[in-house]
Structure 1
Amino acid sequence: MTQRLALKDRDLFWPPADELTEATERIRARLGDWPPTHAPWRICLTAPDAPNGGDLIVIADAQQHREQVARWLVQGAGVIEAAQNTATLHLGGETYRLEGHLADDWIAALAAFLDCGFDPHDALVLALAWRDGDETRADDAFPADLARFPRLAGLPAAPAQAFARCPDRLGLYPVLPTAEWVERVLSFGVKTVQLRRKSAEPAAELKREIARCVAVGRAHDAQVFINDHWQAALDAGAYGVHLGQEDVHTADLSALAAAGMRLGLSTHGYYEILRALHFRPSYIALGAVFPTTTKVMPTAPQGLRRLARYVRLLDGVVPLVAIGGIDLQVLPDVLATGVGCAAVVRAVTQAADPAAAVSALQLGFTR
């Protein structure tokens, strides 16, 4: 018997809609156990008199309501344009354009995924991956068929050729601050590392650091990725680069792909995963899994439940890297999701005995 959730006492829709609430309950009951969300969202099927920062206002054509839309956005609300096989979310100064199937129950599905705690752009992706009746076909109806997911419109063109492949399971992946650290960790037998230098420094010094990392990587037959500095990595003949979502607008991806370099892309949810897949990278990083102090994160921690869902969706499609707050204590839980690689930072660089820390972490991949 389908479990029913107590959503009727919540302000899910404007105007109130009992049938939509009941459909949301049916769908939400088959999506699994998620921590309750405290986000003040509400889906508005007609414009409310006074929008609030949690409102998502569904309309058919933003051009016909241009002045109203501008006012709603200034007031902190989001606007979803929904037409045949397309849905566009305007929220927080960003526009998310999706092309795909709009089920009859897509609004109820959107509400259910919002209730699971997903941000509106990720919840909308999942709503477009929903099919009417999915909640009746399995106890776990969470979307897991990539072929059903929407296509993102308006993206920069991908390189003509896909990026070169890297091993499907990269294993332990230390992210290190200097060439000296790269040399040290590779001497411990690690086969995949990343140089991540975030401090400002002269270009000549940066190039020397990258060239030094490339050389030691070749000496150890290891895969050395360079974070961010794609041009210097390209000039040095690096094995690969790791870029953030924003970097695909500025990096010469075609030149990197043509040179046979590998590309890793950071993601923080379903929308960014689809965006990364568009560029056919060598691997996709999923994070931050846990809270981290090594960098300022644009999103809340993903957690193990989401990581497991991402792995289920993408396993066999592209190599995956879990990143963010991972240490020896949580590594078994991370690997239990099925992910084949875990990136670590402080677990190595702040260890009292880095060699022993690396040995213990590597042992975790063999259990």
Structure 2
Amino acid sequence: MSLLNREVFWPPADELVEVAERIRARLGEWPAAETRWRICLTAPESPKAGDLIVFTEPHDADTERLASGGAAVLEAHGARVTLRRGDERFALEGQWSDDWLAALAAFLDCNFEPHDALVLALAWRAGDENKDDAWPVDFATFPRVTDLPPAPDGGFQSCPDRLGLYPVLPSAEWIERVLDLGVRTAQLRRKTNDVAGLPREIARSVDAGRRHDAQLFINDHWREAIAAGAYGVHLGQEDVQTADLSAIARAGLRLGLSTHGYYEMLRALHFGPSYLALGAVFPTTTKVMPTRPQGLARLARYVQLLSGRVPLVAIGGIDAQALPGVLATGVGSAAVVRAVTEAPDTASAVSALQQMFSGQC
């Protein structure tokens, strides 16, 4: 857990390292960082992978050259911070403490990606290390994501704060089968090249949802979901750039958004979604994930920050064995796939999973 005896800042900055060490000591046990980031307080002649180059004053440096070879560039001017890493750009606004660079080193050491470590560092306040729980959990201190399109006027319809068991299913036949077993939240995630048959599958699923008075979400296919009058749609982060969120809101559909860490949660909240999906909690084989598994410790911190602000759904690799630990974080819903679709006895599996939610208020 020690930051000492290795190059954390370049040029060396003993005072910053000492503050970073104090902060890190109060953050608890986290997996060892996969990348040993070096925070460069001045631009090195030959940037390398793992360099995070920081500019706190206007400059004329060639940031594209500096960001080549795996380095990242962070510019903090006024109330705005921009992080560039490869082709990705992360823009934040807010107020931060004088200790933010030391906090950044500490959160990087907790194995957070630079954009998520940056969010936490900007939310850190001097003196937080003296609290019983030093982790940033006051939403008011967190920065906001900038350079986003406006959220739809009027926002999205709300959904229950606790959506409970949330099977994600591949067909209308599966939707009907599971809703018949008493499940009241489900998602159709239809991955198919059968474009002609897709509207029929969605309409059939939506009809089943209406018969059971269930919250039926459609994954990705928002146009067809609107046409069928679905309860809601679920979109990924990349879909926010291409989907007509205003059309979804005008149609009265709920919106669920996938997130994979602090930055994406703040970005998603800008659009006022009906719920946030937090994942992937564990490794999953049902789809290729853009980020490493989050784990229960991170999930618990996400729930602590966002509970009561927006309904939350844990997702990714959750089965009957893992579900009690997931629910212990306080999250109000958990999405499952193979725990239902690959169960030897669907009815027994659904009943057992439902029972695990019965103790939640």
Is the pair's TM-score, using the shorter chain for normalization, greater than 0.5? yes
SS in 2 for 1:356: helix
> Of residues 325, 331, 353 in structure 1, which corresponds to 2:323?
331
Aligned-pair CA distance for 1:200:
1.7
Partner of 1:173: 166
String of CA shifts for 1:155-214, please: whole Å, max 9, x gaps: 111101121110100000000000000000000000000000122222x31000000001
Unaligned runs of 5+ in 1: none
The residue correspondences of 1:333-352 to structure 2 (distance < 5 A) are 333-352=325-344
Q: Distance in 1 between matches of 2:186 and 2:312?
A: 15
Cα–Cα, structure 1 residues 198 and 61, in superposed 2: closer, same or farther, change >3 Å?
Answer: farther
User: 1:314 — aligned with what?
Assistant: 306
8 Å Cα contact 2:158-2:274 kept in structure 1? yes
* Structure 1 position 289 matched with structure 2 position 281: yes
User: Is 2:165–2:335's contact at 8 Å kept on the other side of the alignment?
Assistant: yes
Query: Residue 129 in 1 paired to residue 140 in 2?
Result: no
**Structure 1 residue runs of 4 or more that deviate by more than 6 Å after TM superposition:** none
- TM-score norm. by structure 2 comes to 0.98
How big is the shift at 1:92? Answer: 1.9
Matched, 1:185 2:178: yes
Task: Give distance in 2, aligned partners of 1:51 and 1:25.
Answer: 25
In 2, Cα distance between equivalents of 1:85 and 1:21: 24
Aligned length: 359
Say which SS state the counterpart of residue 90 (structure 2) adopts.
strand
State the partner residue of 2:111. Answer: 117
Partner secondary structure for residue 165 of structure 1 = coil
Counterpart for residue 245 of structure 1: 237
Aligned to 2:102: 108
Unaligned runs of 5+ in 2: none
Matched, 1:54 2:47: no
Residue type of the partner of 1:132?
A
| Structure 2 contact 10–42 (Cα < 8 Å) conserved | yes
Q: How does 1:264-283 map to 2 (within 5 A)?
A: 264-283=256-275
* Structure 1 residue identity aligned to 2:88: E
**Is 1:84 paired with 2:112?**
no
- Aligned to 2:67, the other structure's residue is in SS state helix
Q: Deviations over 1:254-309 (max 9, x none)?
A: 11111211000000000000011000000000000000000000000000000000
Residue 31 (structure 2) pairs with residue 14 (structure 1): no
User: Which region of structure 1 is more displaced relative to structure 2, 252-261 or 235-244?
Assistant: 252-261
Q: CA deviation at 1:139?
A: 2.8
Q: Distance in 2 between matches of 1:161 and 1:96?
A: 27
CA contact (8 A) 2:58 2:77 kept: no
Structure 1 contact 304–337 (Cα < 8 Å) conserved: yes
**Structure 1 residue 63 displacement after superposition:** 5.9
Report how far residue 11 of structure 1 moved.
Answer: 1.2
Contact preservation (8 Å) 2:167, 2:336: yes
Alignment of 1:205-284 (within 5 A): 205-284=197-276
How far apart are the structure 1 equivalents of 2:288 and 2:341? 18
Q: What CA distance in whole angstroms lies between the structure 1 residues aligned with 2:73 and 2:80?
A: 14
State TM-score, norm by structure 1.
0.96
SS in structure 1 opposite 2:335?
A: strand
In 1: Cα distance, 2:174 partner to 2:300 partner: 31
Q: 1:95 aligns with which of 52, 69, 89?
A: 89
Equivalent position amino acid for 1:50 in 2? S
Deviation at 1:114, TM superposition (A): 0.3
Task: Report the Cα offset of residue 49 of structure 1.
Answer: 2.8
Identity %: 69
Kept in 2: contact 1:179–1:195 (CA 8 A): yes
The residue that corresponds to 2:350 in the other structure is 358
- Please say if residues 166 and 282 of structure 1, whose CA atoms lie closer than 8 Å, have aligned partners that are also in contact: yes
- C-alpha distance in 2, partners of 1:207/1:55? 49
